[in-house]
Structure 1
Amino acid sequence: MLCIDLQGKRALVTGATRGIGRAIAQALAQAGATVVVTGRERSRAQEVAERLPGEAIGIELRLEDPESIKRAYAEVEERLGGVDILVNNAGVTRDKLFLRMTLEDWDEVFQVNLRGTFIVTSLAVKGMVKNRWGRIINISSVVGFTGNIGQVNYSATKSALVGFTKSLAKELASRNITVNAVAPGFIETDMTSVLSEDIKQSYLKNIPLGRFGTPEDVAGIVVFLSSDLASYITGEIIHVNGGMY
């Protein structure tokens, strides 16, 4: 029987205080990794970290603020010496029809979903290159492939993460660092709970498996991609959407 063992590995998950990010942190911890829980509020990140099995720490990290990212990663290096696994999960939406979308709506989503991801990855990858081992998993979205009304900005960033993933995978492969992405479909989280029942049912009709996904459905794939079982997989996009795309 195959078993995923991440003992001795250090994993950082952005946006890990709720939803998919929290489930990923939980799954990585259960597999034995030391987990860095990051979120916009240190107290909340620490609270989540304290509830994880094994060793975990909670740190404030605001992806829209380059200085916050640098401070957070400096703390990670001081306390853990760096990370072996990076999960770029955090993201924001500012949904609005394109004709009503402002430059601020566009910039805010790009600052968090892309610029912030670039900065934290550039910091983490230096140690991975030195150690000649690393796993980078970027959380994209089905809307990066299908598009979605009212999400031109968000969809654009999730599409961009695909190119980011595939290009970075080619650059880092010689250093034994894999870079992959996971593209969730309709996952039941706080973000989707505000949708009306009519909208939810319209989505459900397009999902062959007949149910919405859970954060744990995504977390399981992330743990697999973090392990040696996936050591020959890089530059790939794994779709977790029940067959809707």
Structure 2
Amino acid sequence: MFPFRDHNPSGRTPFVTYALIAVNIAVFLSYWHLFADPRALNNFYFQYALIPAAVSTGQGFEGLFTSMFLHGGLMHLGGNMLFLWIFGDNMEDEMGHLGFLAFYIMAGLLAGFVHVVFAPGSAVPTVGASGAIAGVMGGYLLLFPRAKVDILLIIVIFFRVFTLPAWIMLLIWFGMQFFGGLSADPNTGGVAYWAHAGGFVAGIALTFPLFLRLGGPRFWHTNDFHPPHPEAKYDRSSIPTIRRRR
């Protein structure tokens, strides 16, 4: 299940969102050649990624920041940038350019700290913008719970696009991270579930002052729980189903 667009274009150009996407892509391309040399790639990650065991001993704090701009492959990068592109523009619209940039960085740092708390002895390098983007998603849930998001559902050879309110899609995603964190050992690598869940909760908390400043529940009801802009209309909302032949 992949979200690929929302129905809520921002009211102004989201320069920071575009810049963050560009910086993440540029950084990834700068060390793309290292994927041909696993030893050099590992050395690079150990230098710039987040190492929870190092932070636990009072070292490597810079990795909390630099790890937010590193990725483990094209799919990792592409998925993160897609989520940032979908949810970042409306958040930037309400927060302002500099406010959104500060929010994004703070959410990423807090997500990294949560990961360290749950895996203090892990020496596995952690990379990715997922924690910061989870914060963006958490803030989006608070401000625009009924915003429409188009989801591509793939089950074997069954493909279909359908539209969900943001709160359903985002709570399903958060639930997957939370229960993934309960079932996985954070010290052995893999997906940093607690960083995702922590970033999501941090995003809600960091957005709450803005929510109150906008009017709190009155902001919801004034805009019917959507971003305060005209909704985009798409000609097609589905992909033909490919049925199995008997």
Q: TM-score, normalised by structure 2?
A: 0.24
Which is richer in strand?
Answer: 1
Q: TM-score, normalised by structure 1?
A: 0.25
